[in-house]
Amino acid sequence: MASEKLLITTANLTPDFLKQLDRERREIRGAILYDAGELVDLSELNSLDYPSLWDLFGTSSGQAITMLHYIGHSSEEGLLMQGPGGTMQLANDDLSALFKRLPKPLRFVFLNSCCSDTTARALLQAGIPYVVGTSKAISDKTAVLVAKKFYEILGDINQSTTVEDAFEATKRYFKNHPDQPLGQLADDHRGGSMRKSADFPWQLHKRDDLTDEQRNWTLIPPKAPVLSKSTELNALYRVTPKSAAGRPFSFFLSYTIADKEVAQTLVHQIQVAFRLYGKMDSIWQDDSRTDATQRTSQLTDNLNLADFVFLLVNDAFLTNPLLEQVISLTKARFDTGQLSSPPIVLPTVECNWQDSAAGSFNSFPLSGEPVTANMLDEFSNELYNQWMRLMRQKR
pLDDT band at 62; cut points 50, 70, 90? very high
State the pLDDT at residue 17: 63
**Range of weakest confidence among 73-82, 128-137, 205-214, 369-378:** 369-378
Q: Indicate if the pLDDT at residue 230 is higher than 80.
A: no
Question: Roughly what angle, to the nearest 10 degrees, separates helices 50-57 and 92-99?
Answer: 20
All structural domains of the chain, each given as residue ranges with its CATH number in brackets, are: 4-216 (3.40.50.1460), 226-394 (3.40.50.2300)
Distance between CA atoms of residues 167 and 113, nearest Å: 16
The side-by-side arrangement of strands in the sheet containing 308-313 is 278-283, 249-254, 308-313, 344-347, 362-363
Q: Among 42, 51, 34, which Cα is nearest to 4's?
A: 42
Q: pLDDT tens, 264-273?
A: 888 777 766 6
Q: Indicate if the pLDDT at residue 178 is higher than 50.
A: yes
Is the Cβ–Cβ distance between 81 and 18 less than 8 Å?
no
pLDDT band at 149; cut points 50, 70, 90? very high
pLDDT band at 104; cut points 50, 70, 90? very high
State the pLDDT at residue 262: 87
pLDDT band at 214; cut points 50, 70, 90? very high
pLDDT band at 168; cut points 50, 70, 90? very high
What is the torsion angle, in degrees rounded to the nearest 10, for the CA atoms of residue 156, residue 160, residue 162 and residue 168?
-60
| DSSP symbol at 181 | -
Beta bridge partners of 378: none
Distance between CA atoms of residues 135 and 138, nearest Å: 9
What's the CA angle centered on 289, arms 286 and 294, to 5 degrees?
A: 80
**H or E element in which residue 236 lies:** helix 231-236
Instruction: Give the three-class secondary structure for 278.
Output: strand
Q: Indicate if the pLDDT at residue 196 is higher than 80.
A: no
Of residues 149 and 321, more confidently modeled: 149
Q: pLDDT tens, 346-382?
A: 899 999 888 888 888 888 887 778 888 778 877 776 6
What predicted TM-score, i.e. pTM, was given to this entire model?
0.57
Average pLDDT over residues 156-170: 91
Q: Is residue 157 packed enough to be buried (19+ CB in 10 Å), middle (13-18) or exposed (0-12)?
A: middle
Mean pLDDT, all residues of the chain: 79
Q: Indicate if the pLDDT at residue 183 is higher than 70.
A: no
- Diameter over CA atoms, the chain: 82
pLDDT band at 236; cut points 50, 70, 90? very low
Q: pLDDT tens, 1-56?
A: 578 999 999 988 665 567 788 899 999 998 887 767 788 999 999 888 888 999 99
**H or E element in which residue 379 lies:** helix 373-394
Chain centroid, CA 261 distance in Å: 27
Distance between CA atoms of residues 218 and 31, nearest Å: 15
